[in-house]
Each structure stands twice: as C-alpha cells, then as structure tokens.
Structure 1
Amino acid sequence: MARIKENDLPKAKLNSNSLQKALRIFKYATNHKWKFFVGLIFLLLTSATALAFPKLMGMLVDCVTNKDLDQANEIALLLMGVLALQAIFSFFRISLFVNFTENSLSNIRFALYENLIKLPMSFFSQKRVGELNSRISADISQLQDTFTTTIAEFLRQFILIVGGFIILGSISPKLTLMMLCIVPLVAVGAVVFGRFIRKYGKKTQDKVAESQVIVEETLQGITNVKAFANEWYELQRYKNKINEIVKIAIKGGQYRGYFASFIILCLFGCVVAVVWYGITLTIKGEVEGVGDLISFILYTTFIGASFGGIAEMYAQIQKAVGATERVFELLDEKPEAISTTIDTANPIKLKGTVNFCNVAFSYPSRKEIEVLKAVSFDVAFGQKIAIVGPSGAGKSTIASLLLRFYDIESGTILIDGKNIYDYDLETLRGNMSIVPQDVILFGGTIKENIAYGKPNATEDEIYMAAKQANALNFIEGFPEKFETIVGERGIKLSGGQRQRIAIARALLKNPSILILDEATSSLDSESEKLVQEALEILMQGRTSIIIAHRLATIRSADQILVLDNGIVSEKGTHQELIALENGKYKNLSTLQFTDF
C-alpha cells in the first residue's frame, strides 16, 4: 500500500464526541501541559497587539490632519513598541506550542510503537504494513502540523475576526454592515474556488504519476518488451497518457486564469467599494476622519484574510481529529501480556517435552475454515519430530500455536506437562527458536543479526555460534567480516547465507525447543548440504519440530506425522510409514521421486 499523503487524509466531523477523543492527546503531554496553556496566553496577547495595530495606524494618519508632529512621533514609537511586543509574544507562542507538541507526540509515537509491537499475530494477519506505517507517519505528521501551528492560527484568526468586527462596529455601523455583506462572501468564494483549482491540480499530478508507472513497468520488464517487439505498444500507451496530462493541465491553467480574474475583479473590487463608501460617509461626517477610514480599511483587510485562512485551517483541524481517532484506535487495541524488558539474571529454562491434545484451530480471518481438527501428538525431550503433508494442511500452524501467536479454540498444548497458557510469553518464547524457510534479516550488520538471539552475547559467543552454523567461512570472506551490512531484509546475502545466519542466531539463543519450518526447501544442493550440517549441530540436545516438504531431509526423525486436511492421518518412523500400503507418506515419497 502506498504511503497516504497528508492531503488525502480523511476528515472527521467536529462534534463533542470526536473532540473528546481528540483531547486524549493531553494525556500524553504528561508534565508539558502547562506549555500549551501558557502558549494560549501568549496567543491572546499576540492577537491583542495585532488588533491594536490598525487603530494606531489610523491615529498616526490623523496627525496629518491635526499637523501634530509630536503626537505623530509618540504614536510611531508606540507602534514600534506594539510590533516589538507582537514579535516577542509570537516567539514565545510558537516556541511553547512546538515544545508541547513535540514532547506530546514523542510520547504518542513511543506508546503507539510499544503497543503495536506487542499486539498479537491475529492483529497483523488482518492489517497491511502500509496502513500501519501510515498511522505512524502521515497521521502523526498531521497532528504535528495541527498542534504546532494550525490550532494557534485558527484561534488567532478567530479572535481577529471577532475583535475586528467589534472595533469596526464602534467606528461605523453602516460601513461595517456594508462590508459584512460583501467581503466575507467574496473571501469564502475565493477559498472554494481555490480548493477546486487545487483538486484539479491534484488530478494532473495523479496522471503524471500514472505515466511514471508506465515508464517504471516498461523499464523493469524491458526484456519482455524487447522479446515481444512491443516497443510501439509501450510508446503508444505512454503517448496516450501524456496527452491526457496535457488536456487536464491546459484545463487547469484556464481555471487558474479565471481565479486570477476573480481575485482582481471581485476581491479588489470589494476593497474599492468599501473605500468608496467609507469616503462617502467621511465626507458626510458619519465617519470622524481619514484616520478612522484607514483603520477601517486595515481591519477589513485583516478580516478578509482571516476569513480566507480560517476555512482551510478548519479543514486541517478536521483531518487532525480524524488522525487522532485512527491513532487511538491502535492504542486501544489490546496487546499481549509481554514485558518490554528482559530479565537476564534469572531466565527460566524449560526441558522441552511437548504434548498436543485434541487441538482444534481456525484463523481469526477465516473462522469458517477449520485448519486443525483434534490434532494430538507427543514429543519427548531431545526427540526429532517431523511434520509433513500437502500445502495448507496446517503444518506451519502447529508452529504458530506452539509459539502462542494465536489462541487455540479447543484442546490443550502442554510443555513439560504444563499448559502453555500458564507460562508467561517471555518464558515460553524465550525457550523456543524458529528457523523459517524465508529468513528475513534486519538491515544492520551480520554481528547484530546473530546477536538478535541473545542481545547481551559476548564476541566469543557470536563467533562460536557462527562457526557451528557453518557461517564463519563466508563471513570471514567479507572485507568487514562480522561488521558487514546485510542490507534491507538481508538482500546482500544469498539464501543459504541467510539461513546460516538464522541458525547461528538460534544457536546463540540456545532454545529448549527448536522449530525448523522448511528451512532448506528453497536452497540449492551445495547450500542445502552446508545448512543441513549446521542444523544437525543445532538439533543436538534439544527437542526439534521439523516442518518439511522435502522428505529426504527427515528420514532420520524419531517420529513423522502426516497432516492431511487438518488431522494427523499417519504417525510413525520413516521405515514404518514407507511400509504402509497406499499410505499418504508413501505416496508423497513416490511423487518426489526419492530413492529410498
């Protein structure tokens, strides 16, 4: 999923319920709340000095009529003082709001990530990574902009509008009424027109993005384009798209032209109308003097600009409230009962016997499909048990249930004779390690990836784990050795190298129960040999559960389970199962052309 742009964020209706939810952000302000309220005081002071400016400007102009130079000097100094105060008040307002916002959002970001990382696998199986990324990036950014500037500006503009109208009414009720009839309407019209033009501009951007997709697809699949001699087809496809861009852009240009004409004719026409009517009232003596007229025009300009800005700010606040609701939806999700700190002093070590007793399970997203149906088996300490069967039979599900990624619907899973739900998750998962088919490494160094199995491991322990995992040779072949960056998801390493890093990681963890989920199925013969040798070392002295497609890798297992349609249809050693006439295991062996 593409990252949601802030402009595309949905808006929430502003009502008491949505605002009450949004105010929960103050819970994360902790001891920084006072900064917001002191910032509001400076906001009021900023607005007050802004409202004083047009009045003083009018008084300064009146000095021309009165020919009073001393008064002019005093008012000019007063104006400079007002501007200096406004600058100081604005500095503290912005600084305090930014300080409050950044500290609050830092706490929200951490709380969101902490809750997210502790949510159960059932949550992640129903959510897309792109959507979750958007919550942390676009939604938080929207909150950042809103609390840093938008709310403050919205309140400031609102105060300017209300205060401006009160002062205008005191200068000339007639002129105020006339201004009220035209200026706000034209300002709102300009906002609506401007928003329409922005939407049209977005259409152009979308079409440009679509044309870029064509270029990207063509270049990525250039082999196919060349092989089919379809250069003409791709050129035509691209030409059609850029022709669409031209049409929309020209249309958008025309609308921008209309908008410019609208601004010149209507907005400046309103100013002319207000000035004309003000002069008329001044000549008639209904407005005291030129100074009051200048003040009136400045207040009108302030109010018109505020009307224009406040509508956009209101829309931004709606988006922020919507973003807050989505962020708190994640924060309200119930996490797993797992600690975020590790007790390295007294880790509980399990022996590693496993018993599945009539376990039934369906995935939360597909409750109508029963993946496991009354599955039962026992694994003694130190045994190697293999689970085979067709795709979708439930093999990997057994590993997920053992790790308590999901809750079972019925039956019991015991480890060392104790129900797995009686263990805390740190103890349970701390005694297990999984080596999957598709190993995903973190983007740091080889050393960091191996140490992920035991973050406080010594250099010697990491070195020994790499050696036992048959990884030392290729690691030492890199110039940076253990400090080699593996790249995103381990992309700089081959599949076999990634597998051996994962085995080294598991060795370092020293688990009681080892789960191998088709750990060699995607490797070439040479890599498989090296990985298999490392796995044999890894499986020594611990309970091992091997999920496999390639039956050649499990012939030495102490017990083989054949899963089919959610049940254990066959159970026994390789020799016992191969001897079953028309057995599923025997049929699977035949299909793989394995020479037994």
Structure 2
Amino acid sequence: MAFQIARLSGYSSAAIAAGIKHVRKRLAIDLARERKDSTDKTGRSNLSKLKRLRLVAGYALRYKGLGFASLLALGVAAAANLAAIGALQPVIDKGFGGEDPDAINRAFAILFGIVTVLAIAAACRAYFVTLLGERVVADLRRAAHARVVSLHPSFFEENRPSEIASRLTADAGVIQQVVSTSVSIALRNTALFIGGLSMMVIYNPGLMAIITVAIPVIIAPIVYLGRKVRALSRSSQDRIADVASMATESLGAIEVVQAFTREEAEKERFGSAVEAAYSTAQRRIRARSTMAGVVVFLISSAITFILWQGAQEVVAGRMTGGEMAAFVGYAVMAAAAAGAVVEVYGDLQRAAGAAGRLGELLDARTDLVVRADPLSLPQPLEGRVSFQQISFSYPSKPGIAALKDFTLEAAPGESVALVGPSGAGKSTVLQLLLRFFDPQSGAVLLDGVNIRDVEPVDLRNQLAIVPQETVIFADTVRENIRYGRPDAGDDEVEAAARAAVAHDFIMELPEGYEAWLGERGVRLSGGQRQRLAIARAILRDAPVLLLDEATSALDAQAEQSVQRALEHLMEGRTTILIAHRLATVLKADRIVVLEDGHVVASGRHEDLLQKSPLYARLAQLQFDVDAAQDLARPTAVL
C-alpha cells in the first residue's frame, strides 16, 4: 500500500499519458482476441466455447433437489402453454359454427384450468430457479475467495486485488443473473420451441417441411454473431475490472490525491478507463443488437410465408380454420421462443466470459509445494531459527538475487536485528521464514526441521509478526486484536492491549473495545494502529517473533512505553527484527548487517561502528548517532 500511495503522490502528465496508453493497449489486445475468435479456423462450434459454463453447471448439480423442482415446474409450464393453444382449435372449428354452443363453455373452462396450472408452475419455476442461482453464486464466491487467500504472494504481483474483487462481485453477479433468469428463460423457450415444432408436424407435415428448410438460414447468423458477442463480453468485463481497480486505488489514497492536488489528473485517468469500458460495451451492444435484429427479421419473414401457405391450404380445403389457427399459434410460439433463446444466448456468452474469469481464480495454484505427509514441529518449540546458504530471487525478478549465499543462526530466545540499505534483503528474510516464498537453494530450519517439510499453517502458528505497514480490518477494536488468536477471551484481549499501551486510547473511543474502526482503520492515527498490531502479536503468544520496525509510527513517549512492552514480549522468544531506529538496534542481542543479499558484518553496536564501514555509514545517516547519544529522544524513521 505504501508503494501505491507513493505512486499516487507523484503523477506527472507523462504518467497519465502512460496510463491512457496502457488502456488503449489493453483495448488493442482485446480487439485482436476478438478478431482471432471471429476467424477461428479450428472448426469448433461457438457452442463449444460455452463449455466454460460447465463450472457453473458443476456447482448447480450439487443441489439436485432444487434443480429437479425447477425442471419439473418448467416442464409443466411449457406443457400448459402448448395445451392452451390446442384448446382453441375446437372452439374455432365447432363453437363458432353454432352446432354445439356448449363447446365454447367447455373449451374456455378447460383453458381456465390450463391457465391456473400455468400460473402456479410459473411461480414455482421462478422461485426454485432464482434460489438455485443465488446458492450457486454464493458457493462460487466462497470457493474463489478461499482459493485466492491461499495463493502464493507472487500471484498478487501479477493480479491486482481490486481486479480479483471485481471477479468476485461483478462477474459473479453476471453468473447469478444468468442462472436465476437467463438459463430459466432459455430452458423454457427451448422446450416451447421443440414442443411448438412437434405440434406443427402433427398438424401439417408439409408446412413444417418448409420451416425446416428455413431453420439453417436462421441459425447461421446466430453462430457467427454469437462468437463476436462472446469475445466482446469478455473484453467488457475486463474493462469494468479496470474501472473498479482504478477507483479503489485513487479512493484508497484520497488524502494523498488531494494533498498533492491531483484531483484533475485522477479524473482524467478514471475518465479514460470509463470511456474505454463504454467503448467496449458499445461494440458488444451493437453486435448483440445486430444479431437480435437479423434473427427477428428472418423469423418474422418465415412466419409471414407460413401464413400465406396456410391460407392456401384452408382455401383448398386441406386444413380447417381451427387447425390453421392452431398451426399459426404454434408457429408464433416457436418463433417467439427462438427469438427469446437468441436474446438469452447473448447473456450466456457474457456468463461464459464471467465464468472463465472466475474459473481462472479457481484453477490458480500456489507455487508452494506441501508434502503429502508433512512433518510436525517439536512441541514445545524452542525457537531456533537457521538460514543455511540461502539463494533467492523473487518470481517477478528472476534475474536479480534478493539473497545470495545468506546464512544466519538465531538461538532460542535471542533477538537479532537486521540492518542494511534499502534492497539489502531484510524483508526477504522475514518472508522466507513465513514461507511466503521458497528459496531456490539452501534451507530454512526451525528447531532443526526444514520448513519445506512442515504444513504452512502449522509453521505460521508458531510465528507472530508486527509489520511496519499496519493492517487494520473493518471490524471492532476487540476483533482486530483477537485476530492474533481467535479463541482468546475478552480479558486476554484487554490484557494484550494494556501491554501494548493501547488500552487508554481504546477506552477514549465512543464504544471502547466495541468501536468500529472502518476500512483500514481510518478512524485511528498511525501510532494507534501500530499499537493494535503490537497487541495482536502479544495476544498470539508465539515462540518466534518478527518485528518489521514495530515502533516506527509512535511518538517518543509512546515508543518508550511500547519498547518496554516489546522487551517483555521478547523475553524467552526468538526475535528477528528489521531495525530502522537506533533505540531498536541497541536493544537487540546481536546486529546483522546486510548488503546486496548477504551478511557483511555481525556483532554489537559498538563493535560494528569500528569494524564495519557500512554499519558506521548507516549509523551516521540512518540512526543519527550524534543525537542518539541521548537515548531520551529516538531518532527519525528511515
């Protein structure tokens, strides 16, 4: 987040232009994909591309009861529609002739009964199908989120969290609409289409043969234009994700945006993204509207021709007026059903694109390999940490070594401070111990056990971390502290807050420990947020403690109090800390100096000032040695 805020604070016109260029580049890629899809030479039907919806079908099949009830209600409703048209034939043939006046009463009584059944079936269909859609989307969202939170951090280097959120919300919403509405309409109208065609064959096979010839003419543009709609639907969802991502980024750093008077620049960036989304949606709507218009024209023309042919049959005496009316009714029903299916087909294409994007999340796999039979860590854990000849490069920067032949031993209960210039590999050490990444060579051991052989959850349960960039969740104060140990009681939470010198400011909040902190803890100062993070680590009570400059956001008075709390917390625990301030360095049992990913010196503060030119320079520039001789005043943050 700090990196994102730094980026937001320095937008130039060139950066804005680069952002617009990026959006245009993405549009060009989508257009190329669209052209590729529209000129696919593999011979596969566009229907095969709807296989992405198998993901949705798989989740729907988990609820066979709801699915069966939906199909039963749908079948009854379709049968009632077909029966209603058939009930009108005797009315026309006999009732209007006056030979049997009661025929009209009987026919309309039957029709009333059919309509009643139709209404009940339609209501049941709407209920069961909508409920099934909501259930399927809820499961999809949970599964996708569960997959994402377990993924390797490198995944988030290439996939923006805001875009992932868009997939969980906007894309899932498209699927919900399709499953709850569009699929139901498609199935209903497919049944009506097939039923209508079947009844037309029964009433007049000759006229039906003419319609059979026209069907391929109607289907061809559906396949061709449907392919374009599918490609544009995927592009449209991507552009919506870009809009959501940009809004999240700028609104998440609104104070920086306004402080640097970048409102107009942000408006231009967001406006460009919105226009790109609109442009893509416009092309999608144009393709979909063209498809609907062409199909409606072809179907209407076919109906007109059938009416003309039917009139000829009645005049020649080969059909009765009632049969002609019923045949035309079924033809109109089949045509209307075909038109509805065509309309829904566009929605299915959108859902296929959305399902594909969600499927990518569900198919994503972590880069961490977990043993099928993981080892257990010793209990109780002593906390001996060992880095043995580690070489590591981040996946996004494979040619740049973050650590090179790095070796470090931390004895149980020892506190080790890591210092060094930016990019020396300090944070990488913590990430490897947390097993967010695995080194390309070497091993990280905890009490003599290679952490590669341990279940990551079991490993991390033995670690507590206080990051420099504090994370506060949109929840109460109590639950934010309890995040460190969910089974902790209220008394334990408050004891941890007191130890972190947080209790007093918490009690000053309107609702105390039950105060709602808002997204990212916007109601608290930086120092208050950091003290909550320290309380969270204290509550976790883990044998290994990781501190990424845990007092960097505190004022001098609060820092002295929290330092005492941390000293108490560090007793009996192995502590690895990244040090940016002299007060933190002096409290460590040992100081390790890193440069370019490897250890260049190790020892106490006074010794390192004499034997390590790098440390002496860091002490002069970063730790403010002269001012630090008076320990009553901590130095500035790096």
TM superposition score category, shorter chain reference: 0.7 to 0.9
Paired with 2:154 and 2:289, the residues of 1 have a C-alpha distance of 54
Q: Tell whether 2:146 aligns with 1:114.
A: yes
Query: Where does residue 6 of structure 2 map in the other structure?
Result: none
Query: Where does residue 49 of structure 1 map in the other structure?
Result: 80
Q: Tell whether 2:445 aligns with 1:410.
A: no
- SS of 2:588's partner is coil
Distance 1:317 1:449, change over 3 A: same
Paired with 2:478 and 2:299, the residues of 1 have a C-alpha distance of 66
Q: Contact between 1:562 and 1:568, CA under 8 Å: does it hold in 2? A: yes
Query: Where does residue 365 of structure 1 map in the other structure?
Result: 396
Paired with 1:421 and 1:84, the residues of 2 have a C-alpha distance of 66
- SS of 1:366's partner is coil
- SS of 1:411's partner is strand
Match of 1:97 among 120, 124, 129: 129
Query: Structure 1 vs Structure 2: percent identity of aligned residues?
Result: 35
Query: Where does residue 116 of structure 2 map in the other structure?
Result: 84
Paired with 1:257 and 1:21, the residues of 2 have a C-alpha distance of 23
Match of 1:61 among 83, 87, 92: 92
- SS of 1:66's partner is coil
Q: Tell whether 2:175 aligns with 1:143.
A: yes
1:586 maps to a residue whose letter is A
Paired with 1:528 and 1:452, the residues of 2 have a C-alpha distance of 23
Query: Where does residue 567 of structure 2 map in the other structure?
Result: 536
1:114 maps to a residue whose letter is A
Cα deviations by residue, 1:239-296 (Å, 9 ceiling, x for unpaired): 999999xx99xx99x999999999999987876665455434423324x233233223
Q: Tell whether 2:416 aligns with 1:379.
A: no
Match of 1:550 among 581, 604, 611: 581
Query: Where does residue 9 of structure 2 map in the other structure?
Result: none
Match of 1:457 among 458, 483, 488: 488
Offset of residue 238 of structure 1:
13
Paired with 2:603 and 2:196, the residues of 1 have a C-alpha distance of 88
2:418 maps to a residue whose letter is I
Q: Contact between 2:545 and 2:575, CA under 8 Å: does it hold in 1? A: yes
Matches for 1:418-429 after TM superposition, within 5 Å: 418-429=449-460
- SS of 1:453's partner is coil
Q: Contact between 2:46 and 2:223, CA under 8 Å: does it hold in 1? A: no
Q: Contact between 2:591 and 2:603, CA under 8 Å: does it hold in 1? A: yes
Paired with 1:237 and 1:332, the residues of 2 have a C-alpha distance of 32
Cα deviations by residue, 1:372-401 (Å, 9 ceiling, x for unpaired): 111112112222211111112111110011
1:351 maps to a residue whose letter is E
Cα deviations by residue, 1:89-113 (Å, 9 ceiling, x for unpaired): 3344444434544444444443333
Bigger shift: residues 162-171 or 369-378: 162-171
Paired with 2:523 and 2:72, the residues of 1 have a C-alpha distance of 56
Q: Give structure 2 stretches of 5+ with no counterpart.
A: 1-18, 24-30, 38-43, 371-376, 630-638
Paired with 1:289 and 1:115, the residues of 2 have a C-alpha distance of 64
Q: Give structure 1 stretches of 5+ with no counterpart.
A: 3-7, 339-345
- SS of 1:570's partner is strand
Cα deviations by residue, 1:159-194 (Å, 9 ceiling, x for unpaired): 322332332344345655666778997899899999
1:60 maps to a residue whose letter is V
Q: Contact between 1:187 and 1:304, CA under 8 Å: does it hold in 2? A: no
| CA RMSD after TM alignment | 5.0
Q: Contact between 2:73 and 2:121, CA under 8 Å: does it hold in 1? A: yes
Distance 1:278 1:17, change over 3 A: closer
Q: Contact between 1:521 and 1:548, CA under 8 Å: does it hold in 2? A: no
Cα deviations by residue, 1:41-67 (Å, 9 ceiling, x for unpaired): 443333222222222223323334421
Distance 1:13 1:527, change over 3 A: farther
Matches for 1:478-489 after TM superposition, within 5 Å: 478-489=509-520
Query: Where does residue 199 of structure 2 map in the other structure?
Result: 167
Matches for 1:297-376 after TM superposition, within 5 Å: 297-334=328-365, 348-376=379-407
Q: Tell whether 2:324 aligns with 1:293.
A: yes
Q: Contact between 1:154 and 1:310, CA under 8 Å: does it hold in 2? A: yes
Offset of residue 464 of structure 1:
1.4
Q: TM (normalized to structure 2)?
A: 0.74
Q: Contact between 1:516 and 1:544, CA under 8 Å: does it hold in 2? A: yes
Query: Where does residue 26 of structure 2 map in the other structure?
Result: none
Distance 1:265 1:316, change over 3 A: closer
Cα deviations by residue, 1:289-327 (Å, 9 ceiling, x for unpaired): 332332233223222222222123233334434444443
Paired with 1:446 and 1:531, the residues of 2 have a C-alpha distance of 18
- SS of 2:329's partner is helix
Cα deviations by residue, 1:515-570 (Å, 9 ceiling, x for unpaired): 11122334554554444343333323322111023345312322111111111112
Paired with 1:240 and 1:405, the residues of 2 have a C-alpha distance of 36
- SS of 2:154's partner is helix
Query: Where does residue 464 of structure 2 map in the other structure?
Result: 433
Paired with 1:180 and 1:302, the residues of 2 have a C-alpha distance of 16
Q: Contact between 1:385 and 1:558, CA under 8 Å: does it hold in 2? A: yes
Q: Tell whether 2:615 aligns with 1:585.
A: yes
Q: Contact between 2:226 and 2:349, CA under 8 Å: does it hold in 1? A: no
Offset of residue 503 of structure 1:
0.8
Q: Contact between 2:530 and 2:553, CA under 8 Å: does it hold in 1? A: no
Query: Where does residue 51 of structure 2 map in the other structure?
Result: 19
Query: Where does residue 158 of structure 2 map in the other structure?
Result: 126
Distance 1:535 1:327, change over 3 A: same
Bigger shift: residues 134-143 or 303-312: 134-143
Bigger shift: residues 499-508 or 535-544: 535-544
- SS of 2:87's partner is helix
Query: Where does residue 499 of structure 1 map in the other structure?
Result: 530
- SS of 1:434's partner is strand
Bigger shift: residues 418-427 or 186-195: 186-195
Task: State the aligned residue count.
Answer: 569
Q: Contact between 2:391 and 2:442, CA under 8 Å: does it hold in 1? A: yes
Query: Where does residue 311 of structure 2 map in the other structure?
Result: 279
Bigger shift: residues 69-78 or 105-114: 105-114
Paired with 2:386 and 2:296, the residues of 1 have a C-alpha distance of 82
- SS of 2:84's partner is helix
Paired with 1:332 and 1:243, the residues of 2 have a C-alpha distance of 31
Query: Where does residue 36 of structure 1 map in the other structure?
Result: 67
Paired with 2:212 and 2:595, the residues of 1 have a C-alpha distance of 78
Distance 1:450 1:38, change over 3 A: closer
- SS of 1:466's partner is helix
1:284 maps to a residue whose letter is A
Cα deviations by residue, 1:137-156 (Å, 9 ceiling, x for unpaired): 23333333333333332233
Paired with 2:485 and 2:535, the residues of 1 have a C-alpha distance of 11
Distance 1:466 1:393, change over 3 A: same
Paired with 1:45 and 1:353, the residues of 2 have a C-alpha distance of 70
Query: Where does residue 104 of structure 2 map in the other structure?
Result: 72
Paired with 2:505 and 2:621, the residues of 1 have a C-alpha distance of 35
Paired with 1:35 and 1:475, the residues of 2 have a C-alpha distance of 49
Paired with 2:105 and 2:539, the residues of 1 have a C-alpha distance of 81
- SS of 1:579's partner is helix
1:283 maps to a residue whose letter is V
